[in-house]
Amino acid sequence: MKVKIEKSVSSKKQSSKKSNILSDKGKKQPQITRNTEIKRALCRWCSANCGVEVHVKNGEISKLTGDKNSQSRGFRCERNTLGAMDYHNHPNRLNYPLKRVGTRGEGKWARIPWQQAMDEIAEKIGKVREKYGPESLAMLAGCGTVRFQWMDVRWCNLFGTPNRILSSMNCFAPEGLTQCSVYGADSRGFLEPGVTKCVVFFSGNKKHSMPNRWKTIIESKRQGTKIIVIDPMFTELSEMADMWLQIRPGTDAALAYGFLNVIIQERLYDEEFVQKWCLGFEKVKSAVKEYTPEVVEEITWVPRGKIIEAARIYATSKPAIMGFMDVTHSHLGRDAVLQIYLAESALRAITGNLDVRGGDLMRETEEGFNFNFDDNMHWDKLFNHPLRKRDCLSAQKFPISSVRGFALLMEAMRKPNGKVGYLNSWNFTPMASPHYIWQAILDEKPYPVKALIINGLNVMCTRTNAGKIREALKSGNLEISVTTDHFMRPAAMLADYVLPATDWLEDVCLNLQRNLIGEQSVPPKFERKSDYYFLRELGIRLGQGKYWPDTIEDMYDKIIQPSGLSFQEFKSTNTVPPKIRYKKYETEGFHTRSGKIELVPSVLKELGYELWTSYKEPPRTPISAPELADIYPLILTTGKKTVTYYHSALREIEKLRARHPDPIVQIHPDTADKNGITNSEWVYIETPEGRIKQKAELTTTIHPQVVSIEHGWSFPERPGEDPNLFGVWESTAGVILPDDPELCDFQGGSPLRALLCRIYKA
């Protein structure tokens, strides 16, 4: 993209020599003469964090190889092998701080020094805080390609705003919040070949969404692990499964109720464990009694015989994993999502598969990791901030994501020994549902948002109601908007300041959830700066100076202090395995108010949630909205993964685009034939919110009543100026997805699945 450069607005004299504002083509970078050395980095193209050996010669990267001594054992997917070097050296990377000098979206920028950018941003944010309060600033943080969002949450806690959006809200936050309410910790299945006897995958084609774990799944299958896949699509994972249950999108809660019905009626549960450790079992038993396999078959499309067989296999094959519920089936409406996660939490618990080797392991307390991470988040500053007068914008509608709700959960989870029951607290932090942030900018209700920081989040490509997002970002009510990123993307084009971020080859990576460490491989090119630098510099100017050590390494020294190691010592090992303990509850109980598993969570009950009600159909399905289904007869599911890209990222890389050049909509051949559609032609996908187009892929792997589209699409090669914004309106799923709070899940996540649509030739 060509960027218009106006004269500098810096107070200091600038060189008159013209340069590419993104790259300074031809300008030589500082050279460091030395022999080739190998740095051990963590790839950040996804959450797997595979180990990479970075070969550095004379200060430049010569090649990348897989780190066979890392937890990923040398694995590298095509994102890394084809994309990493090209991404790092891309001519269109953002390399210098930019200040808008035209109207928002016009694409006119001036290059300014970092210090000037930070001074001006801090001054404007300070004035907003003084006039409207700290809650008038909202921060949107993406998973990006190097960032760990705890920094953003920490900064917001110190500033006093609960109004933030993390990528976890549309990912694992609803499941994690439910598990923390039930168990006092969130859990994840640790698939162990030769030990795990059964694993149930609720959707998600792991070959594409978790490619580093694909070999483990194959090896587990070879060693006899039973694999059950619940998915409306027939995928590579379905093909290797012992059982494939082709479910109607959005009905996962009914299927989970059916599993519970079979297991309880046939007394396949662990009676001793339930009696000793589970509260609320009779409530669960009563709630699922009417959901016999016959009833569930009618709701879900899954044959009753398969429901019975799958439930029996799961309950009798120990240890077993109730796999992480893929986001393909979350965010289906408030009641439906809470029912799904309550039911799967109960399935883990009553079958005795919780916190055992080869089963679903509860995350360790900080003691097990030798960290004091939670104390360094400064939750007390958020809960008791002297300037904060209001809860988050959506606190009334989604109380579990409010400051009050999170404080209740944290208080419960610190029992019985005073230590927080999980390390992942920042991922479930108080957050505002996106609808309310845009509303607070446009209508100033329930109170105004006047300042916006977007850190590494391609918000117009990854959230719903893209048209409303654009309207808010252009609004005159918004006094300052700042974006940090690697490339100019749609939302960045509408910002007042755009700041260049480092990539994972230029920064230190410490994955605090898995004790993985990645070295900084090379110094940042040009004037790219790390997230830590940006947040620290901004924080210092806004009164947070004493809370931010000089460097990220110094910050990590504080976090890992209980281990007795410095960060440099910690880093030399590349990974320090946590102390894996099983059945932790036998010595310390569960980190809930009662000290037991609360199948009817007391915190959620206190916050007013209805628990273990009759099955609730998602709000936009042929059953719940038959009149709408007359116009939009097909069930729409979004978010189909491809190993080529990571959500909305990497489409700038030519080698990857060559592999997957166009957005794909998958349609059953019979459905295509009825609509006059042939393979590989462009088709419109339309909902009540609008329409987009993607290229048809006809496949019998999908149900004739279901349509599956890819998400995250824009076209970096297109013009960036508003209103085009890199073609975001053409194929991005968020253009046709609503953000109505009535359709959101119980913690405020946007509706992404089990909606209604129609298709026709473009």
Q: Would you tell me how many other CB atoms lie within 10 Å of the CB of residue 282?
A: 10
Q: Would you say residue 13 has pLDDT above 50?
A: no
pLDDT for residue 337: 86
pLDDT for residue 577: 59
Q: Would you say residue 677 has pLDDT above 80?
A: yes
pLDDT for residue 71: 80
* β-bridge partners, 42: 51
Query: pLDDT for 369-397, tens place per residue?
Result: 567 777 888 999 999 999 999 999 999 99
- The class (CATH top level) of 626-761 is mainly beta
Cα–Cα–Cα angle for 422, 425, 427, rounded to 5 degrees: 125
DSSP strand pairing (664-667 vs 690-698): parallel
What does the domain layout of the chain look like in residue ranges? 98-172+366-505+526-544, 187-362, 626-761
Residue 483's H or E segment, with its range, is strand 480-485
Query: pLDDT for 96-139, tens place per residue?
Result: 999 999 999 999 999 999 999 999 999 999 999 999 999 999 99
Q: Would you say residue 27 has pLDDT above 80?
A: no
pLDDT for residue 227: 95
Which region among 186-190, 259-263, 745-749 has the lowest average model confidence (pLDDT)?
186-190
For residue 562, name the pLDDT band (cuts at 50, 70, 90): confident
pLDDT for residue 14: 36
Q: Would you say residue 244 has pLDDT above 70?
A: yes
What is the average pLDDT across 503-514?
82
SS3 call for 503: coil
pLDDT for residue 419: 60
**Would you tell me the crossing angle of helices 173-183 and 334-350 to the nearest 10 degrees?**
50
Q: Would you say residue 23 has pLDDT above 50?
A: no
Q: Does domain 98-172+366-505+526-544 have CATH number 3.40.50.740?
A: yes
What is the average pLDDT across 694-723?
95
Contact assessment for residue 23 and residue 3, using Cβ atoms and an 8 Å cutoff: no
Q: Residues near 659 by Cβ (< 8 Å), separated by ≥ 6? A: 78, 82, 644
Q: Which amino acid is at 157?
A: N
Q: Which amino acid is at 546?
A: K
pLDDT for residue 15: 35
Q: What percent of the chain has pLDDT over 90?
A: 66
For residue 4, name the pLDDT band (cuts at 50, 70, 90): low
* β-bridge partners, 362: 187
What is the average pLDDT across 328-351?
82
What is the average pLDDT across 468-491?
97
Query: Could you tell me the sign of the dihedral formed by the alpha carbons of 68, 69, 73, 79, in that order?
Result: negative
Q: Would you say residue 237 has pLDDT above 60?
A: yes
Query: pLDDT for 636-662, tens place per residue?
Result: 998 777 888 988 989 999 999 999 999
CA gap 203, 210 in Å, rounded: 12
Q: Which residue has the tokens 């260049």?
A: 500
Residue 269's H or E segment, with its range, is none
Contact assessment for residue 512 and residue 373, using Cβ atoms and an 8 Å cutoff: yes
pLDDT for residue 569: 79
**187-362 falls under which CATH superfamily?**
Dimethylsulfoxide Reductase, domain 2 (3.40.228.10)
Q: Would you say residue 606 has pLDDT above 90?
A: yes
Contact assessment for residue 726 and residue 460, using Cβ atoms and an 8 Å cutoff: no
Q: Would you tell me how many other CB atoms lie within 10 Å of the CB of residue 418?
A: 6
Query: Could you tell me the sign of the dihedral formed by the alpha carbons of 431, 436, 441, 444, in that order?
Result: negative
Q: How far is CA 196 from CA 208, 308, 322, 342, 630, in A?
A: 22, 21, 11, 23, 46
Token pair of 331, please? Answer: 């965010």
Q: How far is CA 637 from CA 232, 330, 640, 661, in A?
A: 9, 11, 8, 21
pLDDT for residue 741: 92
pLDDT for residue 328: 40
CA gap 709, 662 in Å, rounded: 12
* Rg of the chain taking only CA atoms, in angstroms: 25
CA gap 414, 679 in Å, rounded: 56
Highest mean pLDDT among 36-50, 222-236, 323-337, 638-652: 222-236
Residue 682's H or E segment, with its range, is strand 682-687
pTM confidence score: 0.92
Q: Would you tell me how many other CB atoms lie within 10 Å of the CB of residue 708?
A: 23
pLDDT for residue 31: 43
* β-bridge partners, 322: 200
* CATH topology identical between 187-362 and 626-761: no
Q: Would you say residue 331 has pLDDT above 60?
A: no
Query: Could you tell me the sign of the dihedral formed by the alpha carbons of 605, 609, 613, 615, in that order?
Result: negative
Q: Would you say residue 235 has pLDDT above 90?
A: no
pLDDT for residue 414: 77
CA gap 640, 694 in Å, rounded: 13
pLDDT for residue 95: 98
Token pair of 385, please? Answer: 């901030």
Query: pLDDT for 383-437, tens place per residue?
Result: 999 999 999 999 999 999 999 999 999 888 876 556 655 556 667 789 999 999 9
Task: Name the burial class of residue 550, with classes exposed (0-12), middle (13-18) and buried (19+) by CB atoms within 10 angstroms of its CB.
Answer: exposed
